[in-house]
Structure 1
Amino acid sequence: MSKVKVGINGFGRIGRIVFRESFNRDNIEVVAINDLLDLDHLAYLLKYDSVHGRFNGTVDIRDGKLYVNDRHIRVTAEKDPTQLKWDEAGVDVVAECTGIFTTIDTAKAHIVGGAKKVIISAPSADAPMFVMGVNHTKATAADTIVSNASCTTNCLAPLAKVLNDEFGIVEGLMTTIHATTATQMTVDGPSRKDFRGGRAALLNIIPASTGAAKAVGKVIPELNGKLTGMSMRVPTADVSVVDLTVKLAKETTYEAIMAVLKNAADTNLKGILGFTEDDVVSQDFISDSRTSIVDAKAGIGLNSTFFKIVSWYDNEYGYSSKLLDLAHHIATL
């Protein structure tokens, strides 16, 4: 098959990084962007990024059109996805990155608008959720609208899969120490989610809810009801870390667990799961395309069945990278 052609709806943090990462791929290309932002501003945000640095290429506007590396990218500003005429741009898969059209019924508007398939860049209440390396092989050609789950689920699920396959997970609690996101406030104000969510992101560690751990039960059915978790939002711009505390069915050692995870990172989960024994901190994972990098030195064990596993993830870049992997996978089924 020739290159899979992707259209992006919503050019926020994830939309822009999906676009950036597409230029590192030979098998996929972004051909169209839809966002309500004016073209000059859109090009500026693509060219300069406070976290990931300058775009590695050229970004130009000529005669009111966007050119990236001298290639024309169709840009529209349409509120109604049914009017986007994705097919006229040759789009195979739409990356739905607005955070608005997150159900099958709402995302279906892109199909009406000419797309063949849609990937929602968020958890979905009813669309099938797939995590690369965990359950993506269960996707079928009939799955026209799918969810890439959340960035935290993409970190936790590969970890949980390896642990469950090798040792069996009895139960577990997860905390994600999570970087600030666009929905938070720079100064105190009202939040749609909860009171604490409206407090100043730059000044506070903010406890928050997350469905990421429970969502693992959707992509690994045998773990349904065995995992739950919470989030602590911290004043950093990017990169988060999962702290997974688990009770295992089989007795083992922390060293044996690390050996199994390292093997998975080097073999069947290469490029998805990572492993490090270095003295790393969060900034060391900026723009890392893997979604879960086990930190061998950070975890601990209490006894032969009770362990804490720590795994890093660039919640922007890793997630966006796997969204493109999933886009290529479902487009070629």
Structure 2
Amino acid sequence: MQRQVIVFAFDGVRLMDVAAPLEVFATAARDTGAYTVRVCTPGGRDVITSTGLRIVADLSAEQAEREQRLDDGAVRTAGAGRSDVTLIVPGPADLDTFRKEPALVDQVARLAAGAQRVAAVCTGAFALAAAGLLRGRRATTHWEHAAELAHRHPDVRVTPDAIHVQDGKVLTSAGVTAGIDVCLAMVEQDHGPEAARRVARDLVVFLQRPGGQSQFSAASRTIATAHPVVRPLLDAIAADPASDHSPQALAGQAGVSARHLSRLFREETGSTPAAYVETMRLEAARMLLERGESVTSAARRSGLGSDETLRRTFARHLGTTPSAYAARFRSTRPVVPHVPTIDSGAPL
């Protein structure tokens, strides 16, 4: 089956959100010959990405809709085979783009109606949600905007830590480069894991990257609360996460019962005292590892205590190990594997 991949671009779209799907499917097309990859835009006009780079359309969104209608008509009247269409909706740099330009959401809805599969990259999930395509479905988006997606669209079951999520014919992905991950997943669905591995090798990326997107997020922001009991405790935990911050110790410091403190924490932070302390200790451990501390030192100085506790905490929250995290985030210097070098004088 010849598969059509349509990437919908618009003014303000993030360049990488467009480029990643194009690169994956164009590479897969060279390997399999089974994809036609095109960019469509509103009215077929050139669009300016968030970086300022101009993208020239292959066709207008309206033309893409007409092609889908003609294809449907051919199937009904002549029984001809349908060309499988995958619609990819990239995200904008400005989260409010789809609110400011509802016509874009309408366009996405019309294009999606004729597609057999729909995928969003990063904040493109907001367009799918606004178009009703995520109603009752699991979805994800960039870690920084996952809570906002859940707030704006309570009918969507947001999975904040996933690199990508598929629910039925709809796929959503985390921020920017996760567009590569979700497109590799689609290539694997279409042509099997070996085809996807060949594309991943060509692009020098993971076929399936380890861990979830929490490992890529910035350190947790301080909870915005001015509560006279909770605020001093949050500051104390952030200042010295390795101190004794058991629920009993915190309650004693605040002069309230442990039960009352637990209620206040839930109201002000959405978390229990113990869970909040663990989160802050994890953030401290991450920062220590990024600065070059050993696993043992990071465990001790963050308050998590032992190497084993640190490993369990990393596995539970980040889906990776402290050593793997440190290797990936400590430095931009490449890790050179111990493999034989190529002798330029040797015959090929």
Range of TM-score over shorter length: 0.3 to 0.5
Structure 1 or 2: larger strand share? Answer: 1
- When you count helix as a share of all residues, which structure comes out higher? 2
TM-score, normalised by the number of residues in structure 1? 0.34
**Rg larger in structure:** 2
- RCO greater where, 1 or 2, for CA within 8 Å and sep 6 or more? 1
TM-score by length of 2: 0.32
